[in-house]
């Protein structure tokens, strides 16, 4: 069996974790002892750095694990291009395609596909979209362009609007959720965020675009979501906090243990019925970003994907 090199870059919300605990969260099927053995025998750190299972990780820390190339889960293996002028490249990411490599995905990622499709260029994403989220993904056409775009995101110069389908009936047509978010340490799902007064400031404005009922009679709404900050899972966590769980959400829906069964490929028919949709109903709809060279705003819109449109059209007005 061939061997692959899987690069990990520690996200901000894992800063301060032990390295073995961090990797156990990323590679959930392995035991703590197996993870520690991987670190000792199969980990390549950056030059001049030594990493042990007990090492505390920092945001931005990067390292490589050498692993056997297990069959990767099926994902979409193509994407459309919404904009490409050489410096600014914006893809239409399909739901189900991871942006970056993980323990489970290596070749079946956007970064792998874009490098295969444009081998003469260095196209890299300037932000993240969750694997199940569809829509606009902004990239730089070269490293200096990617760096400029990342600065624009960090400085709040990018305007993003998402479409979401949520269960429930909001009391207002336009409302703000201003609630700090922190990683949920006590949860069985270690990537889950929750509202915490000690968390990072987080705010999302929601607009109700339409209201309907699902086939089983539950109220459902179509929302335009305007995140004012960029925390992990922000829109999903804020909808959960507002009592409006997103359709198809395996973490922030009615039962967070569905996500654990999903990762183990052990979801039940009852789980699927509760979710109503195979993926969480979130779509990166509109994006206005300063061009990395001219600094002029570029506004783009992604059409509603077929699976979300079909679900919505199956609901009763």
Which of residues 27, 45, 68 is at a domain's end?
68
Mean pLDDT over residues 285-314, rounded?
A: 98
Residues whose CB is less than 8 angstroms from the CB of residue 77 and which lie 6 or more positions away in sequence, other chains included: 97, 108, 113
Highest mean pLDDT among 103-112, 251-260, 268-277 belongs to 268-277
- Whether residue 48 is contained in a domain is answered as yes
Residue 183 lies in a domain: yes
Which of 12, 40, 68 is the endpoint of a domain?
68
Whether the predicted pLDDT of 70 surpasses 80: no
In a domain, 54, yes or no: yes
Q: Is 130 one of the catalytic residues?
A: yes
When comparing pLDDT for 28 and 265, which is higher? 265
Q: Say which CATH number the domain at 208 has.
A: 3.30.2350.10
Task: Assign residue 48 the CATH number of its domain.
Answer: 3.10.290.10
Clarify whether residues 273 and 167 are in a common domain.
Answer: yes
**Domains held by the chain: number:** 2
Whole-structure pTM value: 0.79
The confidence score (pLDDT) of residue 105 equals 64
In a domain, 21, yes or no: yes
List CB contacts of 284: < 8 A, sequence separation 6 or more.
Answer: 93, 129, 133, 134, 135, 136, 137, 160, 162, 302
In a domain? residue 43: yes
Q: Is the predicted pLDDT of residue 93 greater than 50, yes or no?
A: yes
Helix, strand or coil for residue 302? coil
Say yes or no: 165 and 64 in one domain.
no
Instruction: Give a yes or no: residue 79 inside a domain.
Output: no
Q: Which domain holds residue 192?
A: 161-282
Q: Report if residue 267 sits inside a domain.
A: yes
Catalytic residue, candidates 130, 249, 271, 307: 130
**Does the residue 313 lie in any domain?**
no
Do 170 and 276 belong to one domain? Answer: yes
């Amino acid at each position: 069996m061939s061997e692959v090199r899987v690069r990990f870059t520690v996200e901000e919300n894992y800063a301060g974790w032990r390295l073995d605990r961090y990797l156990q969260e990323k590679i959930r099927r392995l035991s703590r002892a197996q993870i520690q053995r991987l670190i000792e025998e199969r980990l390549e750190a950056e030059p001049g750095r030594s990493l042990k299972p007990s090492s505390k990780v920092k945001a931005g820390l990067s390292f490589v694990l050498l692993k056997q190339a297990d069959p990767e889960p099926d994902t979409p293996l193509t994407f459309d291009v919404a904009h490409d002028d050489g410096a600014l490249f914006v893809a239409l990411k399909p739901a189900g395609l991871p942006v970056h490599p993980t323990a489970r995905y290596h070749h079946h990622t956007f970064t792998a596909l874009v490098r295969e499709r444009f081998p003469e260029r260095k196209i890299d994403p300037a932000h993240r979209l969750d694997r199940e989220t569809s829509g606009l993904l902004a990239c730089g056409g070269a490293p200096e362009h990617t760096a400029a775009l990342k600065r624009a995101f960090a400085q709040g110069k990018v305007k993003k609007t998402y479409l979401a389908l949520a269960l429930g009936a909001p009391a207002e047509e336009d409302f703000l959720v201003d609630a700090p978010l922190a990683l949920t340490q006590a949860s069985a799902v270690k990537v889950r965020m929750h509202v915490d007064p000690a968390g990072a400031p987080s705010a999302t404005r929601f607009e109700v675009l339409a209201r309907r009922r699902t086939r089983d009679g539950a109220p459902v709404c179509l929302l335009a979501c305007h995140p004012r900050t960029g925390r992990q899972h922000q829109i999903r966590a804020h909808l959960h906090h507002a009592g409006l769980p997103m359709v198809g959400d395996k973490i922030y829906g009615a039962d967070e243990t569905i996500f654990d069964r999903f990762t183990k490929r052990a979801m039940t028919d009852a789980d699927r019925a509760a979710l109503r949709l195979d993926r969480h109903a979130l779509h990166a709809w509109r994006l206005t970003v300063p061009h990395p060279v001219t600094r002029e705003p570029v506004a783009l819109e992604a059409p509603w994907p077929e699976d979300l449109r079909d679900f919505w059209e199956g609901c009763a007005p």
